[in-house]
Structure 1
Amino acid sequence: MTGRVKWFDENKGFGIIKEDSGREVSVHYSDIEEDGYRSLSEGERVEFELAKSFGSLRAAKVKRLDPFQ
């Protein structure tokens, strides 16, 4: 799946991704696949998988996409 970061709170390590289909899913910093400090920026394009967490959907295996895609 692909989408855009709606918002991400670096202090809490949590945010929301809006899928291209319009649905919103939560994202946790631990699901961002990169080395070092893991954070996302508002409006950033991402690719991810959906996973269930406590009865709701969340983004997992989140990867940044080339901004020109």
Structure 2
Amino acid sequence: MITGTVKFYNDQKGYGFIRPDDGSKDVFVHATALERAGIRGLAEGQKVTFDTAEDRRTGKVAVNNIQPA
């Protein structure tokens, strides 16, 4: 799993971005990933661990499995 910090998350819009600790490109996170993990929301600066997966429709990489760190 990858460790990172929540850069931005908008509860109303249902998406945000996480900055991986290894300095790689920010990763998109959607509300559905939080729902699958049983998480109600994310706060800016919150530490998390996550896996990524490629979206079959768009081909973009997004958070797939997320947990508070």
- Structure 2 stretches of 5 or more lacking a match? none
Structure with more helix by fraction: 2
In 1, distance between residues paired with 2:31 and 2:43? 12
Aligned length: 63
Q: Which of these residues, 20, 31, 34, is aligned with residue 33 of structure 2?
A: 31
Structure 1 unmatched runs, 5+ = none
Dislocated runs of 4+, deviation >6 Å: none
Partner AA of 1:58 in structure 2: A
1:10-57 Cα distance to aligned partner (Å, 9 max, x none): 10110000011222010011112126xx21000000011010011111
Q: Normalization by structure 2: what TM-score? A: 0.84
Query: Per-residue deviation at 1:61?
Result: 1.1
Q: Among residues 44, 47, 50, which one is paired with 1:48 in the alignment?
A: 50
Provide the identity percentage: 33
Question: Aligned partners of 2:17, 2:10: CA distance in 1, in Å?
Answer: 9
Provide the rounded CA distance (Å) in 2 between the counterparts of 1:9 and 1:25.
Answer: 15
Picking from 54, 62, 68, the partner of 1:58 is: 62
**Are 1:21 and 2:25 an aligned pair?**
no
